[in-house]
Every structure is written in C-alpha cells, then in structure tokens.
Amino acid sequence: AGASDRGSAGGAPAAPAPSSGSGQGDALDLNSATASQLEELPGIGPVLAERIVEWRTQHGRFSRVEELQEVDGIGEKLYSRVKDHVRV
C-alpha cells in the first residue's frame, strides 16, 4: 500500500540522484555562483556570500555540499536551510 523509494523520516539520503527530474536546475552551483547569486539563498547575505567566495578562492572547488559548513558563519541551522538549494 503506497510503498515507494522515499524511505521513512529519519536519516539523510546517501546522495541525491543528479538526473532525477527538473529540480536540479534550481540548485545553485557552489563552484560557479557569484556572490550576488549566493545572496539569493535563504539566510545568506552579502557578508556570507563573500565568505563563500573567499573560501572557494583559498581552498579551491567545493567537492561536497557539506563543505559549506567550513565557511565562517555557516552553522548547522543555516546549512540545513541552504543545502537543498545548492550543488557542486
């Protein structure tokens, strides 16, 4: 009765399938986004957008979305608001 691959509430999915539907087009690429594009993310203002760009300059490309948490000022709560809106 209604069994699907969505799973139950609980742990995070291992990895979203990049080619599963049209939602991917809405995700902002952390490695190519400009500071002004990053500011459009929920909870990200001009200061954090610049910090994300600076992190990218110092460390190279983001290899995982989770690395966003290494940016000064992005904690768990903010990361949880932004993670579904970005990709690498």
pTM attached to this predicted model: 0.71
CB of 36 within 8 A of CB of 49?
Answer: yes
Q: What is the DSSP string of 42-88?
A: TT--HHHHHHHHHHHHHH-S-SSGGGGGGSTT--HHHHHHHGGGEE-
Q: Break the chain into its structural domains and give their ranges.
A: 33-87
Read off the pLDDT of residues 9-66 as tens digits, 9 standing for 90 and up: 444 444 444 433 434 468 999 999 999 999 999 999 999 999 999 999 999 999 999 9
Domain spanning 33-87, CATH class: mainly alpha
